[in-house]
Structure 1
Amino acid sequence: MARSSADDEQLRRACELAIEDETVVMSIRVVKSGGIWGKPGKLGLRHMAKPRVLAISTKVKGKRTKAFLRVLKYSNGGYLEAAKMYKLKHLSKVEVSTDDPSGCTFMLGFDNLRNQSVAPTQWTMRNVDDRNRLVLCILNISKDCMVNIPKVVGIDVVEMALWAKQNTQAIPKQQGDLPEGMLPAGFTEDLNLTVERDLVSQAEEADMEALLGTYVMGIGEAEAFSERLKRELQALEAANVHAILENEPLIREVLQGLEVATTCVEDMDEWLGIFNVKLRHMREDIESIETGNNKLEMQSVNNKSLIEELDKLIEKLHIPAEYASCLSGGSFDEANMHENLEACEWLAIALRALEVPNLDRCYAKLRSVREKRAELQMLETTFVQRASEFLRNYFVSVVDFMMSDKNYFSQRGQLKRPDHADLRYKCRTYARLLQHLKSLDKNCLDPLRKAYCSSLNLLLRREAREFANELRASTKISKAPTQWLDFTGSNQSANSADTSNVSEAYSKMLTVFIPLLVDESSFFALFMCFEVPALQPGGLADGHQSAAADGNRTTDLQALNESLHDLLDGIQEDFYSVVDWAHKIDPLRCISMHGITERYISGQKADAAGYVRILLDDLENRISVLFGRFVDEACHQIERNDRNVRQVGVLAYIPRFATLATRMEQYIQGQSRDLVDQAYTKIVTIMFVTLDKISQADLKYADVLLLENYAAFQNSLYDLANVVPTLAKFYHQASESYDQSCTRYINTIIYYQFERLFQFARRIEDLLSVMTPEEVPFQIGVSKADLRKVAKSSLSGVDKSITAMYKKLQKNMTSEELLPSLWEKCKGEFLDKYASFVQLVVKVYPTENIPAVEEMGQLLASM
């Protein structure tokens, strides 16, 4: 048998060097989760075997000895180093793996591992002897040092005991090497192994053998043995009865003592009954005294509580003189506002204190309480009337002061941006006063809101009017803009005036006044104590309060919109005047103004800016209407484009529309793409319909007019069609119409010169649909003689006929640049028709000779 690594002293010393301050009891080489010795991969594991060393060590700390299981691995230099450490007191199970038939693979289960879902590490020994030595060492040390012994699974205890008897070597303990009671793994001082001690001791085993030896009998002596045991039992019972009879005198003495004790107990019971009656009478007297004392104490407590309640009630009913004078006749100057606010707070608290939820219901009907409540309500009414009248006059006076000073408004040569900082500062002085007025009487705010809106509306409208007037006066246009609707003016210059100042003026109007109106709306909503979501970004912490306030918020939002209408109504007229002015200068500026307005609409989301959104929507609609009028007028001009005059060449509105579309694309800003696309659709549709109507006036030249105008439309809008999807759609439509016109016109030119030739071919095609090719030459009008006549008349001077065809094409065209492409299409179409004619002749008249298609193609190429 090979020597076990547990006997390797050099390995043990290496382990002691790697583990400091601990005594190594046993060290043995193992393999970690990699298979079995000499048979790699037999267990089906995925990872390679990793050599490790398991060491069992102890450490003495005071009177206690601690045991550890150390896992050591080999470093790159071949030295052992500590990898993991487990305490043996947490070892709960030693389980031999069933996957390894050799029994050399086992797992150690610890009860303190955090992740119990991960399977424990498997350790594989060289042979079963090494495994048994390690397990016995762990069991012995656990028995000596700790209370719990790990559970052994997969190993037969009897086999383990037999193996221990066969492999035990009695050796003396080395003094000082190991703790008392511990030996190296695999050795014990005698044959009393742990496994054996767990079963039965040697003394118990000897007694059992002696007992069994006494009663060694055959199978037939069982009844005799039973009779013997019965006789012994009867003898023991008789001996017990005899012993009881011998003790009769003692029993009599005990009974006499019990009689004496019974007499004493009866006497004591009589005395206790007498004492119980006296105690009951005494208890009744004490209860009557306690009842009287409790009533007196309760009366004293009630009197004290009543005095305290009366003091609190008197305190609630007391009106301080300074608050009463302030509420009934104090001044509302800025210096006295602090006293007014304190008086308001006290009044609100005092009124709430006299309400039933805060005041006991039994006090609510007292005359003194009712009188004091009426007095407080009178103070409330007086103060609210005085404060409301003061604030109405105050709003009017502040606005009148600003209206009387011309420096607040725009003047000739100077645009003045409205500044309401001073106005808001003066109003904020009374913001808290308005909050107290709302808590005292919510209905008093409506007249104040109307007074504030009426006064400020005058100021805002004048500011907007003066600003708009000066804005129009200070905006200079370099020269008169192009009359885009004049489609008849072909000699008019294509260069238009720069009207960007018009859009800039409109943008400046919005830039100045839209934020101002939004700020004024938000300030008004806050100042006048409206409860809308936009004014409470933090929301309410209590969900019940939030649900209860929803109705108030909805009502306040409606009231706020009505008040904002009073505040800003009429200011839209000044915005309309700027829009109308810009439209008169350059109608196309409606496009850029529409985009500017859309950007401002997308930025207004606060509930307090509801009227501003309405204003912007009205401006957008007005701009759309004005631009729609411009488009309608343009369509009207196109429809009545010189109806009484014969139209030749490219119509005037085709190039003018290209110039118009180019300028419209320059004016697009923001999201005004839809507005322009709708205009394109409407104008181009009218252009194409009008072109078709004009072409029907002279059918002889209709196709020439159509193809020239459709070609001009494509040439003028080629660049824009590449970037504008709407124009690209009409570009393709014009291209299809151009191709159709070209085809019709070219066919007309060809049939004008070669009508007999192609009519003969058409008759042959009609006959072939009802008869065979051999029968066709025998029909009237399509005989071989007829074919020779047609070929002679049409093809004898074919070069002259082709030249005449070109001259006719040149004569009817007014656009010289289209002539080369049309002539090429004409030659190609003629060659295709002639090729079809030749195929018919070959099929029906195979013996007849006519010019070949190649000859005709060479002739056309030379023309």
Structure 2
Amino acid sequence: MAKSSADDMELRRACQAAVDGSSAGGKHKVVLSIRVAKSHGVWGKSGKLGRQMAKPRVLAISTKSKGQRTKALLRVLKYSTGGVLEPAKLYKLKHLSKVEVIQNDPSGCTFTLGFDNLRSQSVAPPQWTMRNKDDRNRLLLCILNLFKEIIGRLPKVVGVDVVEMAIWAKENTPAMSKQVNAEDGPDDSVMTENNSTVTVEKDLVSQAEEEDMEALLGTYLMGIGEAEAFSERLKREFLALEAANVHALLESEPLIEEVLRGLEDATLCVDDIDEWLGIFNVKLRHMREDIESIESRNNTLELQTVNNKLLTEELDRLLERLHIPNEIAECLTDGSFGEVHMVKNIEACEWLSRAINGLEGQNLDQRYTNMRAVKEKRAELKILKSTFLRRASEFLRNYFASLVDLMISDKNNFSQRGQLKRPDHSDLRYNYRSYARLLQHLKGLDKGCLGPLRKAYCHSLNLLLRREAREFANELRANTKTTRSPVFSLEAPAGSSQTTNSTDTSSVAEVYSKMLTVFIPLLVDESSFFAHFMCFDIPMLLPPGDPANITKNESNGIGANDSNQNLTHAHGNDAKTSNASDDMIALNEALQELLDGIQEDFHAVIEWGCKIDPLCCISMHGTTERYLSGQKADTAGFVRLLLGDLESRISVQFSRYVDEACHQIEKNERNVRQMGVLPFIPRFATLATRMEQYIQGQSRDLVDQAYTKIVSIMFVTLEKIAQADPKYADIVLFENYAAFQNSLYDLANVVPILAKFYHQASEAYEQACTRHINMVIYIHFEKLFQFARKIEECLQSSPAEEIPFLVGLSKVDLRKTLKSTFSGLDKSANAMYKKLQKNVTSEELMPSLWEKCKKDFLDKYETFIQLVSKVYPKETIPSVMEIKDLLAPM
């Protein structure tokens, strides 16, 4: 017989090493290790190839003692890719509940182990196949012994003959014990020959069963030596007993025949019952078919009844949609539009809108869309809608015109001679608001019908607004008591006309300011009311008549382009924004028609004020700019355009005045010779003073531009006049630049643009003075400075020590030059002073000119001394302080 793998000590040591190397190994000791084949297939049945293929495994039983307790584990080990055993599964033997040998395996070497703690009991346990029955019995015997010793109970064993196990144990236990003791030495876990037999008998049978077996075996004292002989004897006795039983049965033949007859009778009864049952079954089948037919007809009737009921309800609802109440039809076709009947008209509009929407495709079942009755009713509703829209539009057009005509026909609504009337449209708007809801419903029925109504409203109200503006402007001008101021001229000399030009014309600017104060809020209010009343879909609108819309925004809203940009920025590029943008364009077009022509009266006031005093343009421009910057509403685009037009017109009028002033300055070029201060220099200071009075904290852009243009022309003209006579050019320049500085000294301290020109004039004055004084100095001290110039020229080509030996630059020549210069210093200084005084017309400039002349002469003389000390170091000449002391009393 081949050696069992259970006796392979190399295998056991490999198992022990795998157990010790695992995290759950601890101090477990392998008691038994044996090679097996693992499979999941079923013997005699087809299955998946992967499930039927056997996999080599090693089953190892290990124990661990912990005090008086001993734990036993069943380990499954598999071979790794390198042929090394490694743990695969771990079972606790205390949970083993069943050991079953597979009956389909003819070799009897395949069995399963059932554990009661497995989570999925629906999965078939693996099957373990041994090489032979000896390996199987050896493993099972070890498991049963451990159960009896450690756990105190036995698992259920199925498919194994207990007697066969006991016989096998008696025959193989001595060999097992000897082999284990010879190889491994004494071990407590290995059983001896005597106690192993007892243990097997105790494990396989109980005490009572053992006694019964001994009694049974005691009756056969035949000297049986082999189990096969005993088995043959038992078979013979079994056949003898079976023959005795057959004989006994034959002796009871009469009883059997009686039983057979009873069975035949019973068979006949059963056949009769079967026939009757067949008949009843046919009848029941027919009854079942009849019942099913009745139920089917009943279900059909019930379904038809339900459908008819639902159809009736649906038709009732459809008829309710299609029904037009008589009072609604009369109101839509022949009703009155008076204020008393407006509630009925609004209700009729609401009903008509609901009815039309209810018959639309998205609100009506598609099956009803093509019904004749629905089409006819839809056409009838369209006729009602068109009739009502025509009647309502005609009434509102006449109503708008009639209300405005009533106001125009009453002269008390306008300004009259001696009585200034502020326009008041509160009653007009109150009457209009009675039909605001009607307009909203008209827009809901047909948005296109509002176009003619908006035009009629704009046309009627435009007549009223233009009449009010014209009468108000005429009365304002008539009540303004002012004398016409002559145009301020820059070419006339400053004299007696100063009094005339200082006439107070502030009331002219007040007329224009009052026009804006009264009409700009009115126009903004009318624009906002029009936008709401005529149902423009524009976001961010203040309610009509809102005080914030009148007081905070005292003028107008933004233009069409600006409003579109704001709307796009605030709402994005969605459909609502597109609709709002379209409505904004339509609103601005309508507002232009509503307010067109009213600008003529504002233009008339501007031209009237410019004729009285062109400088009033400054105040009017500032007032317009203030109103223009305060407009934020989106509903008054034309008002903003109006203010922008007024601002441009005022700027043009003022530019004309500035151009005329520049033309007057340029006419001075044609004079042959002009000495002294030119007339436009002091006149400009007077003009600037008056212009500053008109600004009064408003925007300076207009005035600063005028200053820049006028002063630039003044300086250019001054330069041209000075160049007409080069001999006296510097005198003309520094006298006029000095006069410019003196006249604008106070204004330059507070006006930045004038301060810039003040500094520019100061620089030009210094340059002209320097040129003129240098000319005077060189005339009277020509010899001295010519000698200095010769020294400088020679120093560029010769060393300083050689210069005294040159012709004309000797020490003798130096002494003669100094003697001729300082011997008549008093006369030369007086002549120089008289030369300065000769052509200067302004005596106030002489002290500063003379002081500057002496200073420049001393600076030049100091330069001369430095040259002489370098070239003639031993020569003695007068010092700067000596010359300064000589000139001081002059």
Tell me whether the two structures share a fold, i.e. TM-score over 0.5.
yes
Mark the CA change 1:336 to 1:240 in structure 2 (over 3 Å): closer, same or farther: same
**Counterpart Cα distance in 2 of 1:316 and 1:377:** 15
Residue 459 in structure 1 maps to residue 486 in structure 2: no
Equivalent position of 1:488 in the other structure: 492
Q: 1:447 to 1:247 in 2, by over 3 A?
A: farther
Tell me, yes or no, if the aligned pair for 2:622 and 2:699 is still in contact at 8 Å: yes
| Corresponding residue for residue 731 of structure 1 | 758
Q: Equivalent residue for 1:524?
A: 530
Measured against aligned partners, the alpha-carbon deviations of 1:816-841 in whole angstroms (never above 9, x if no partner) come to 11111111110011011111112222
2:323 maps to which of 318, 321, 324: 318
Residue aligning to 1:80: none
- 8 A Cα contact 1:488 1:641, kept in partner: no
CA contact (8 A) 2:490 2:684 kept: no
Query: Match for residue 673 of structure 2?
Result: 646
Change in CA separation of 1:795 and 1:367 when aligned onto 2, cut-off 3 Å: same
> 1:482 Cα shift?
5.5
Determine if contact 2:494/2:682 at 8 Å carries over to the other structure.
no
**Map of 1:140-219 to 2, 5 A cutoff?**
none
Q: Secondary structure at the match of 1:771?
A: coil
Of residues 320, 333, 336, the one that matches 1:328 is: 333
Alpha carbons 1:461, 1:570 under 8 Å: kept: yes
> Which amino acid is the alignment partner of residue 488 of structure 1?
A
Show CA shifts across 1:587-626 (max 9, x none): 1121111111111111212121100000000011111111
Aligned counterpart in structure 2 of residue 795 of structure 1, from 822, 847, 850 = 822
2:351 partner amino acid: W
Task: Please tell me the residue identity of whatever aligns with 2:878.
Answer: P
- Retained in 1: the 8 A contact 2:331–2:348? yes
The answer for the alignment partner of 1:476 in structure 2 is 481
Structure 2 residue runs without a partner (length 5+): 1-182, 216-237, 239-266, 268-272, 545-565
**Partner SS state of residue 532, structure 1:** coil
Equivalent residue for 1:619? 646
Q: CA deviation at 1:233?
A: 5.5
Q: Tell me the CA shift for residue 853 of structure 1.
A: 2.1
Matches within 5 A, 1:30-49: none
Matched, 1:442 2:447: yes
Write the mapping of 1:82-101 to structure 2, written as runs, cut at 5 A.
none
Using a 3 Å threshold, how does the CA distance of structure 1 residues 742 and 221 change in structure 2: closer, same or farther?
same
2: CA distance between counterparts of 1:482 and 1:233? 150
Q: TM-score, normalised by structure 1?
A: 0.68
What whole-Å deviation, never above 9, does each CA across 1:232-280 have from its counterpart, x for those lacking one? 465233124343566899xx9xxxxxxxxxxxxxx9xxx9xx99x9999
Give the AA of the match of 1:332. F
Q: Distance in 2 between matches of 1:574 and 1:766?
A: 78
Given residue 474 of structure 2, which amino acid in structure 1 is its aligned partner?
A: N
Match of 2:384 among 379, 388, 406: 379
Percent same amino acid among aligned pairs?
Answer: 66
Which shifted more, 232-241 or 766-775?
A: 232-241
Deviations 1:515-568 (A, max 9, x none): 00001111111111111123389999xx99994322221211111111101100
Q: Residues of 1 paired with 2:446 and 2:471: CA distance?
A: 39
| 2:188 corresponding residue in structure 1 | 225
Aligned residue number for residue 577 of structure 1: 604
- Residue matched to 1:241: 204
Q: Supply the AA of the counterpart residue of 2:747.
A: L
For 1:246 and 1:361, the matched residues in 2 are separated by 96
Distance 1:311 1:484 in 2: 90
Segments of 4+ in structure 1 off by > 6 A?
A: 245-249, 277-287, 536-540, 543-546
1:418 aligned onto 2:411: no
Q: Which has the larger radius of gyration?
A: 2
Pairwise mapping of residues 729-808 of structure 1 onto structure 2 (< 5 A)?
729-808=756-835
Q: Give me the whole-angstrom Cα distance separating, in 1, the residues matched to 2:586 and 2:347.
A: 29
The one-letter amino acid of 2:758's match is: Y
Contact 1:326 1:340 in 2 (8 A): yes
2-structure distance, mates of 1:674, 1:336: 59
List aligned pairs for 1:336-351, cutoff 5 A. 336-351=341-356
The Cα shift of 1:488 comes to: 1.2
Q: Which residue type is aligned with residue 844 of structure 1? A: V
**Aligned match of 1:655:** 682
The alignment partner of 1:418 has SS state of coil
Q: Distance in 2 between matches of 1:284 and 1:853?
A: 152
Distance, in Å, in 2 between the alignment partners of 1:819 and 1:657 is: 24
- Residue matched to 1:508: 514
Q: Choose which of 734, 748, 758 in structure 2 pairs with 1:707.
A: 734
1:52-63 maps to which residues of 2 (within 5 A)?
none
**How has the CA–CA distance of structure 1 residues 330 and 781 changed in structure 2, closer, same or farther, with 3 Å as cutoff?**
same
Equivalent residue number for residue 215 of structure 1: none
DSSP 3-state at the match of 2:531? helix
Q: Deviations over 1:112-151 (max 9, x none)?
A: xxxxxxxxxxxxxxxxxxxxxxxxxxxxxxxxxxxxxxxx
- What is the alpha-carbon distance in structure 2 between the residues aligned to residue 770 and residue 387 of structure 1? 109
Q: Which amino acid aligns with 2:308?
A: N
Amino acid at match of 2:384: L
Contact between 1:410 and 1:466, CA under 8 Å: does it hold in 2?
Answer: yes
Give the aligned residue type for 2:485.
Answer: P
SS in 2 for 1:331: coil
The residue that corresponds to 2:629 in the other structure is 602
1:809 to 830, 836, 857: 836
Alpha-carbon spacing, 1:757–1:350, altered in 2? closer, same or farther (3 Å): same
- In the aligned structure 1, how far is the partner of 2:447 from the partner of 2:865? 102
Measure how far apart 1:789 and its partner are: 3.0
Aligned positions, number: 623
CA 1:279 to 1:408, structure 2 compared with 1: closer, same or farther past 3 Å?
farther
Native 8 Å contact 2:669 2:721 kept in 1: no
Q: Is the 8 A contact 1:327 1:383 kept in 2?
A: yes
Are 1:591 and 1:668, in contact at CA under 8 Å, matched by a contact in 2?
yes
Report what 1:498 is aligned to. 504
Q: Secondary structure at the match of 2:453?
A: helix
Deviation at 1:399, TM superposition (A): 0.8
